[in-house]
């Protein structure tokens, strides 16, 4: 199937720089995205257990997550703009046909996200009692899981241009959905693992001993189960790769990512009992973030291996530098990273236990 013609304007910066920024901004997006997706799942489970067991600690833990998720989701949405724009800029002739084939589900992302986002605010700011909280949590959880499925479908189609012709010949309604269970599960359990690490952090920062012990125990449980299940899921996912994609897998990245996940488990176990250790919890979360970053690099290498044979360097990646625009972008990026760091530091200080 003929690919769309390249953009006549050309790239505003060298392709290597754009690819670096794509991976960097994707990592900045995938961390809060994982907390949003996984955190909604965990908060809903804690909400249900709090209602069924009439446990004030489970309700408090769910409430802590619900109050955190709206802000995290705001980071998810804001930090998701840049990597999406870089994908369109570098791989536009692959991304746009894929988004046309997914059509209506791709359009649905924004309204579905708005509904899910409002439900998070309702949980965070609404009345603390009532059976509606369980249903609101379940709906928001399903909606975020659906958004993850839509992105998995569209990005999966982006690297499979060989199948476009058959899909379009079958239907031009824009209703195609690429069902990739292993890829979706890979995203899902990565998200619940990240959320589990965050819950452990809440446990080390909590002032109440009952809530602290419960959060550390539940966070450790979700982190452990998610990482253990992630092993067969990752093997399954890898088995679905085409030969070119499998050849692009550099074992250094998945092995290092697995090692960091193991470090996170050890650190989490060390902080499971005894005195509260906020630094230990932050290191656990940091190890998970670094592990995710390594997998993001590997993900990009696979995508590049699949698409590079179909890229005409002279036409698709023709260079038309716009360094003034990139200077502004770089300054804003540095400012944003500093602002995020400041906000996280304020959160840590405000949540740290105070000793009399």
Q: What is the DSSP string of 142-203?
A: HHHHHHHHHHHHHHHHHT-GGGHHHHHHH--SS------HHHHHHHHHHHHHHHHHHHHHHH
Domain ranges of the chain: 15-343
Q: Residue 355 CA to chain centroid, in angstroms? A: 35
**Cα-based distances in Å from 293 to 64, 76, 148, 300, 352:** 26, 16, 18, 11, 27
Query: What is the rounded distance in angstroms from the CA atom of residue 236 to the CA atom of residue 224?
Result: 19
Mean per-residue pLDDT, 124-147:
90
Matching residue, tokens 């928001």:
140
Question: Could you tell me the two tokens for 1?
Answer: 């199937």
Contact indicator for 36, 302 with CB cutoff of 8 Å: no
Q: What is the largest CA-CA distance in the chain?
A: 71
Question: Which H or E run includes 242?
Answer: none
Query: What is the rounded distance in angstroms from the CA atom of residue 85 to the CA atom of residue 11?
Result: 12
Query: What is the rounded distance in angstroms from the CA atom of residue 49 to the CA atom of residue 221?
Result: 15
Mean per-residue pLDDT, 340-356:
65
3-state helix, strand, coil in the chain (%, to 5): 80, 0, 15
Residue 336 above 60 pLDDT?
yes
pTM of the shown model: 0.91
Mean per-residue pLDDT, 236-244:
90
Residue 192 above 60 pLDDT?
yes
Contact indicator for 204, 280 with CB cutoff of 8 Å: yes
What pLDDT shows up at residue 329? 86
103-119 pLDDT per residue, tens? 899 999 999 999 999 99
The residues, ordered by sequence, that sit 6+ positions from 248 with a Cβ below 8 Å of its Cβ are 301, 302, 304, 305, 306
Write down how long the chain is: 356
Backbone φ and ψ of 302, nearest 5°: -65, -45
The rounded mean pLDDT for the chain is 90
Residue 66 above 90 pLDDT?
yes
Query: What is the rounded distance in angstroms from the CA atom of residue 116 to the CA atom of residue 291?
Result: 28
Q: How far apart are the first and last CA of the chain?
A: 71
Contact indicator for 185, 241 with CB cutoff of 8 Å: no
What pLDDT shows up at residue 242? 86
Q: Which architecture does CATH list for 15-343?
A: Up-down Bundle (1.20)
Contact indicator for 226, 193 with CB cutoff of 8 Å: yes
The residues, ordered by sequence, that sit 6+ positions from 144 with a Cβ below 8 Å of its Cβ are 36, 37, 40, 116
140-173 pLDDT per residue, tens? 999 999 999 999 999 999 999 998 988 988 888 8
Backbone φ and ψ of 11, nearest 5°: -75, 140
What pLDDT shows up at residue 355? 42
Of the candidates 177, 194, 220, the one whose C-alpha atom is nearest the C-alpha of residue 295 is: 194
Residue 6 above 70 pLDDT?
yes
Of the candidates 227, 291, 282, the one whose C-alpha atom is nearest the C-alpha of residue 256 is: 291
Residue 356 above 70 pLDDT?
no
**Cα-based distances in Å from 272 to 55, 173, 202, 258, 321:** 21, 52, 12, 21, 52
């Amino acid at each position: 199937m003929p690919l769309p013609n390249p953009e006549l304007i050309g790239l505003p910066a060298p392709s290597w720089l754009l690819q670096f920024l794509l991976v960097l901004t994707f990592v900045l997006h995938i961390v809060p995205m994982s907390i949003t997706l996984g955190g909604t799942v965990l908060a809903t489970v804690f909400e249900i257990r709090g209602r069924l067991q009439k446990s004030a600690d489970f309700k408090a833990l769910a409430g802590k997550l619900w109050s955190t998720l709206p802000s995290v989701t705001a980071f998810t949405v804001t930090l998701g703009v840049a990597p999406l724009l870089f994908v369109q800029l570098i791989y536009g002739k692959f991304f746009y046909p894929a988004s046309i084939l997914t059509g209506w589900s791709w359009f649905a992302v924004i309204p579905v996200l708005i509904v899910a986002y409002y439900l998070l605010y309702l949980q965070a700011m609404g009345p603390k009692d009532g059976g509606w909280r369980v249903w609101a949590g379940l709906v928001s959880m399903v909606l975020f899981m659906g958004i993850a499925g839509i992105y998995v479908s569209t990005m999966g189609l982006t690297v499979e241009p060989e199948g476009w012709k058959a899909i379009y010949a079958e239907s031009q309604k824009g209703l195609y959905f690429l069902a990739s269970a292993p890829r979706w599960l890979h995203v899902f359990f990565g998200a619940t693992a990240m959320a589990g690490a965050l819950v452990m952090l809440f446990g080390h920062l909590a002032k109440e001993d009952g809530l602290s012990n419960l959060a550390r125990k539940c966070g450790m449980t979700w982190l452990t189960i998610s990482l253990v299940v992630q092993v067969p899921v990752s093997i399954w996912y890898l088995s679905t790769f085409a030969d070119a994609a499998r050849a692009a897998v550099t074992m250094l990245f998945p092995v290092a990512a697995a090692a960091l996940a193991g470090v996170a488990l050890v650190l989490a176990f060390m902080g499971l009992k005894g005195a509260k250790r906020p630094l230990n919890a932050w290191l656990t979360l940091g190890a998970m973030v670094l592990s995710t970053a390594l997998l993001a690099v590997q993900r990009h290498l696979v995508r590049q291996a699949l698409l590079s044979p179909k890229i005409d360097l002279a036409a698709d990646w023709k260079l038309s530098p716009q360094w003034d625009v990139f200077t502004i972008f770089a300054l804003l990026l540095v400012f944003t990273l500093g602002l995020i760091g400041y906000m996280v530091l304020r959160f840590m200080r405000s949540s740290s236990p105070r000793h009399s």
